[in-house]
Structure 1
Amino acid sequence: MFSMKRLLSATAAAAIAVAGLAIGAAPANAQGTVADDKAQFMFTASAENRLNGHKLEYVKIGDYIRYGDTDAYGVRVNSALKEKTPNLITDALNDALKDSTTTQQVPSDVDDPLAWALSQGVLDSIKDAPWDGVTRKFATYLVNHMSELPTPGTATLKNATAQGSSDSFGAYIELPAGIYLFRDVTSPVVEDSSNAVPMLVHSGTVEKTVDNKYRLTNITSEALVEMKNYSTEMSFSVNGDTTTDSTGRTASRGETLTYTMNGYVPKTDEVTGDNLDYVSTPQKGLKVDLSSVKVVIVNKDGKTVTAADSGSDYSVLTSDGAQVDTKDGKQWFTADGTGDSSTGMTGHTITVQLTKNTLTKWQNYIGSGYAMRVSYDAIVTSDATTQVDNEFYMSTLPDKKKYAHSVLTSLTFRKVDASGKPLAGARFKIESSNPNQLVLPSGYVNANANRDASCGNNEAISNADGWVTFDGLAQNPDVAYKITEVAAPNGYITLDRLSFVVNISNQGAKVVFGDDLTSDPYGLVTATAVDTKGSNSLTVENVHSIAQLPLTGGAGIAFMVVIAALLSTAGVIVVVRSRRNTTV
């Protein structure tokens, strides 16, 4: 953008004069000399990566002309540029002005087109049209005709420093005073930063005289311009988790997850084709509600400032051959993706496609902390095993993929009799130990094979080897699962309220078993000692008849040893908490 903040801000539509002369218009016999004084060109941005490492090409398009011994200056097209392509500035101005509100063209009898443009105020200021407008079109035209410009110089921005606030940084280069076209040619692009659009930048200041005219002075004063690029940082979160590429999120079967793809609003001319695509590849074990897709712009505080309309602003597409079913007026996409963040995802995709017309009306949201957010809901199905992953990328950066990772875990224990022989046929159920704290969603299904027709969705039966498994569980360090024996093996009585609780820490760091008078009123649950590996077990006694409840060690007593095993993670430390230290 044309950084004439000082040069044009007060006279955007008025003639500018220097010592009685329009800028750049010298008297008939005045030759003047080109000022070669050095000036600093300071580029600013909200993040260091928008400056450091950016390689800029620059071409001087406007010389400052000093007349005599005075401090009066004029502006003329750079002599090298005029010599190489005499009409380039005129052609660029006419192209930029042809569709503008002024519809002016450079008069044929003008001696210097750049001086004329400045004096007529036809170049809009940086704040009026940062991403569009006459000046933007003027700069773009010049960049598209780089071969007609003098050979550019190059400079790489580095050592960006804070400019008085936590979100303002600056880096500068030093050049002879004048007006320059800057072009960002950084390749490959800096991580999480776009290349800047072409910029017109000048040094010097303008002072207003007593006769309401303006004079260009102090031509070496610092040129201050906001870098015309923006953050391309992206993230993928689940249920509002703000951690990029989270590895700590866990989920249960039957749970509804909200996936949020945080991207950015790109320049329309950086979008190939007619659309911008947000593409996601959900892993097998997810069923996506396509009617839940939302597209919004949020500010730096995460608050929605505008929302897109489905159909007119964006479309939701699935790749050919995808399984999409309609139920209760909603369309459901059954995911079949395979892979993970280390290998990449393959499978059918969901594409949220935004039109260029939508992007055009959102150009004011480029940068400045705004983000374009696409979200949808998905249910974790019985196909989910140890994890459900999801991959997302934007079509502007197809190689920059982001992942959302959710872990599901399994809890396994074994039932044996007094001699250690596996005991089959005992049925257990799992639920939240506190109904006010949701651990298992209503749609939870234990998909493990040790179940039969008598089992509910949250139940399991000990198999021939005595093993009982509950899988598809989320891990939560603060909320306990309650496991209750709802049917004893044949020949044993089922005791009401006989249960124990289990806490599974986030990411499977540890498992804590416990019981109390409420869950074990009969005194049949006993903790064993912790072994040298930090593992332990829990003993639950069953009886043939109520008359045997006070007894211990009788022939009618069977034992169930509960051995904690978190199958989906490694390095589990099992800690048992019990109110008793010895078997009753």
Structure 2
Amino acid sequence: MEVRTSLRKALGVAISAATLLALMPLGASMANAATVSDGTDLQLSTADKATLTVKAEKNSYIKGHKFAALRIGTYDYAAKTTATTGDDAHKLTGLSVGTVKDDTIKQAVTDAYTSLKDGAGQNYKLEAAYTDNPVGQVAASLLGFKTTDSLTNNKDESSSKAPYTGQLRDLVTALQKNSAIDAKFAAAPTATAAENETATTATFEGLPQGLYLIKDIADASQIPAGSQLSIPMMVGTGVYEAGSDDNPYVKFVADESGTQLGTVNVKDDELTFTKTLDPNSTSLGKNDWGKFHLTTKVPLTTGFAHYEFKMVDTPSKGFTLPNPLDDQTHGVKVYVKAKASDANTDANKISADLYTLGTQTNSSNGLKELVIDFSNTLANHTDTFKYGYTIDVAYDMMMNGLESQPSNGASLSHSTDPKCDPSVPNTTCPVDVINVPVVKVHTFAIKLKNVLRSNDAALTGSQFTITKDGATDPIEFVKHSPTDPNNGVYTTTDPTGTAQKTSTLDVSSLADDTKGTITLNDMPTGTYVIQQTHAATSPTLRGVMLPKFKITVTKGDGSLTDENVTSSVSVIQDAWGLVNSTAPAGLVTVTNVPSVVQLPLTGGAGIILAVIVILAIAALFGGTVVLKRRHEATRRRV
């Protein structure tokens, strides 16, 4: 049979696929449509029994979203295959699309189509045969249907692939901005996405068959965190034949795409946002720099009039931001890369003019927050911000010692409503805010106890210093004395920044369980050198054989968001053997002796003691020999 001017062979109505949800395109593989043979006429049903289904995976974030379906195109003629068995049975060979009898819709589609521009910058025009059928023109010029006339047979495949930009996407976006079309949706049929055993679906039932615009009309302020309203989509119902209303034609012959009419397959595009701390930064000391990362993915901005995308880091007072914020060593650097596992390199570090750095004041505590804002660049630089790529914001913050175990959180705010335009006066567009759990930098306590070796009696008056392994100067502490200045408790934290500091640590002289102890709070993990610099004064011991040894503090199990994380302390023995080799519950016991003869008889001290004894015997033997020789010499003189 002869194919009519408006008949589109072997494809029919294709959806735009240009949605936030990565909708699958129909007919994307129909380049071979011209090779199929014509079928036989199909008498179209006039009953309103068509269905449209928006379908997503189980647990999809579109659950609860409400959609409206506005009919803009009619099915005027269809052809089917003659095969009754095999792969070609019950399939379409062609479908003719018309425009609904509604002057508002007709004008809106005409205006949207003629606002598009070709590669030469010229506006599209309606062909003579489609002056009264702009939806038919859309099918011919954008959906790629093969015709037998001289019309241009363009197929806008870019609108069917991520990031779903292109002429068809632009047309649907133009339609969503049309206030007259927007008003039509108020009376359109609706369906709400619900979850079943296998999927999340929103199904329209009892529709006249044809081509529809589907719009997400959910309340943008009520949708799940990390999601946003979908961009309007264009989709057709299955083709229903008179007398067989329950068995529509949904596939086209020679179509290998796997898609079908009547169903929109949705892929979730939920935003995620994480904050991490480099493994070497999970325990920090004063003046140490922690290396932080904020990570998310480039969202789908297609169809949005404006897209807000802003990260905010909220540090507690124990952290100091780099100054300047783009400091070469510690400042903010942004990387955009194909995979999260890709290394951050100069090749994927983006230019600083593609984001805005700044600070703002936290309304609750008055502290400075770090702001990284991509709102003015993300949607306009898709060559850099490719949809689905990973954005990794890396920066350092210094632990300033003003707070014990400082913490910080972060948030990502992003647009949720594609139809909202903030340039319209008195318009505030909704945003979703994703908050990450607060990240904590864990510090730990180190406890020493100085005792007499002979009876484990606590000693007082002794002093110690502690130095980071490899450093030359001892660490300075603030005496922590909420009840008594002699309690032997010290901390590296100085909330005021003005407290007097000391590197000389006195053991507790209190007559309680703390006697002879030193407690060092807010210590990061690492290896330290501890040296006793002064012997006890009660009882009085000579300042000889004072131990010098190392300890290593190791973080125990627990995540960055846990409130309490344990630690363990291991001891590297001193030369005298005066330090216990184990530190149960983090307590390091340091023993002193009043004389060399009380040193342990094992290890280095035992060797030293043996050497001393040998030297003493040698000295005694030498003295005896000298006396004997003198005696013999005296006898000879006599």
Within the alignment, does 1:153 sit opposite 2:164 as a pair? Answer: no
Using the TM superposition, give the Cα deviation of residue 106 of structure 1 relative to its aligned residue in structure 2, in angstroms. Answer: 2.2
Using the TM superposition, give the Cα deviation of residue 83 of structure 1 relative to its aligned residue in structure 2, in angstroms. Answer: 5.9
Separation in 1 of the partners of 2:211 and 2:472? 67
Using the TM superposition, give the Cα deviation of residue 2 of structure 1 relative to its aligned residue in structure 2, in angstroms. Answer: 0.6
Within the alignment, does 1:543 sit opposite 2:575 as a pair? Answer: no
Within the alignment, does 1:485 sit opposite 2:535 as a pair? Answer: no
Specify the code of the residue in structure 2 equivalent to 1:543. V
Within the alignment, does 1:378 sit opposite 2:397 as a pair? Answer: yes
Using the TM superposition, give the Cα deviation of residue 347 of structure 1 relative to its aligned residue in structure 2, in angstroms. Answer: 1.1
Higher deviation after alignment, 57-66 or 123-132: 123-132
Taking structure 2 as the reference length, the TM-score comes to: 0.61
Identify the residue that residue 518 of structure 2 maps to in structure 1: 468
Using the TM superposition, give the Cα deviation of residue 348 of structure 1 relative to its aligned residue in structure 2, in angstroms. Answer: 1.0
Cα distance, 1:424–1:233 mapped onto 2, change above 3 Å = same
Within the alignment, does 1:521 sit opposite 2:532 as a pair? Answer: no
Separation in 1 of the partners of 2:62 and 2:449? 61
Which secondary structure state, in structure 1, belongs to the residue aligned with residue 321 of structure 2? Answer: strand
Identify the residue that residue 75 of structure 1 maps to in structure 2: 97
Using the TM superposition, give the Cα deviation of residue 360 of structure 1 relative to its aligned residue in structure 2, in angstroms. Answer: 2.0
User: Deviation string for 1:323-344 (max 9, x for gaps)?
Assistant: xxxxxxxxxxxxxx89xxxxx7
Separation in 1 of the partners of 2:225 and 2:552? 44
Identify the residue that residue 168 of structure 2 maps to in structure 1: 135
- Does the 8 Å contact 1:56/1:154 carry over to 2? yes
Cα distance, 1:359–1:469 mapped onto 2, change above 3 Å = farther
Equivalent residues in 2 for 1:40-59, closer than 5 Å: 41=53, 43-44=55-56, 48-59=59-70
Within the alignment, does 1:260 sit opposite 2:293 as a pair? Answer: yes
- Does the 8 Å contact 1:276/1:354 carry over to 2? yes
- The structure number with the bigger radius of gyration is 2
Taking structure 1 as the reference length, the TM-score comes to: 0.66
Identify the residue that residue 124 of structure 1 maps to in structure 2: 156
Aligned residue pairs total 479
Identify the residue that residue 61 of structure 1 maps to in structure 2: 72
Q: RMSD of the alignment, in Å?
A: 4.8
The unaligned stretches of length 5 or more in structure 2 are 1-14, 18-23, 82-91, 143-153, 238-249, 416-430, 480-489, 492-498, 511-515, 559-563, 602-638
Equivalent residues in 2 for 1:131-530, closer than 5 Å: 131-144=164-177, 145-149=181-185, 151-159=187-195, 171=201, 173=203, 175=205, 176=207, 177-187=209-219, 188-203=222-237, 204-207=250-253, 221=261, 223-227=263-267, 230-239=269-278, 249-268=282-301, 276-289=309-322, 290=325, 291=327, 292-303=331-342, 307=348, 309-319=350-360, 346-354=366-374, 356-362=376-382, 368=388, 370-394=389-413, 396=415, 397=431, 399-402=433-436, 403-415=438-450, 423-431=460-468, 445-449=475-479, 450=490, 456=503, 460-462=505-507, 464-465=509-510, 466-475=516-525, 483-489=530-536, 491-495=541-545, 497-499=547-549, 501=551, 503-506=553-556, 512=568, 518-519=573-574, 521-523=576-578, 525=580
Cα distance, 1:115–1:265 mapped onto 2, change above 3 Å = same
Which secondary structure state, in structure 2, belongs to the residue aligned with residue 143 of structure 1? Answer: helix
- Does the 8 Å contact 2:27/2:259 carry over to 1? no
User: Deviation string for 1:375-418 (max 9, x for gaps)?
Assistant: 20122222242333243433645643223222222323454677
Equivalent residues in 2 for 1:74-113, closer than 5 Å: 74-79=96-101, 82=102, 85-97=105-117, 101=121, 103-107=123-127, 110-113=131-134
Using the TM superposition, give the Cα deviation of residue 513 of structure 1 relative to its aligned residue in structure 2, in angstroms. Answer: 5.6
Using the TM superposition, give the Cα deviation of residue 280 of structure 1 relative to its aligned residue in structure 2, in angstroms. Answer: 1.6
Which secondary structure state, in structure 1, belongs to the residue aligned with residue 168 of structure 2? Answer: helix
Identify the residue that residue 10 of structure 1 maps to in structure 2: 30
Cα distance, 1:41–1:269 mapped onto 2, change above 3 Å = closer
Separation in 1 of the partners of 2:349 and 2:169? 27
- Does the 8 Å contact 1:6/1:206 carry over to 2? no
Cα distance, 1:222–1:181 mapped onto 2, change above 3 Å = closer
- Does the 8 Å contact 2:447/2:587 carry over to 1? no
Identity %: 15
Which secondary structure state, in structure 2, belongs to the residue aligned with residue 281 of structure 1? Answer: strand
Using the TM superposition, give the Cα deviation of residue 234 of structure 1 relative to its aligned residue in structure 2, in angstroms. Answer: 0.9
Separation in 2 of the partners of 1:219 and 1:249? 49
The unaligned stretches of length 5 or more in structure 1 are 163-168, 209-213, 242-247, 321-336, 339-343, 436-440, 552-584
Separation in 2 of the partners of 1:311 and 1:524? 54
Separation in 1 of the partners of 2:395 and 2:27? 48
Separation in 1 of the partners of 2:135 and 2:74? 10
Which is strand-richer, 1 or 2? 1
Using the TM superposition, give the Cα deviation of residue 93 of structure 1 relative to its aligned residue in structure 2, in angstroms. Answer: 1.8
Specify the code of the residue in structure 2 equivalent to 1:43. K
Which secondary structure state, in structure 2, belongs to the residue aligned with residue 360 of structure 1? Answer: coil
- Does the 8 Å contact 1:34/1:65 carry over to 2? no
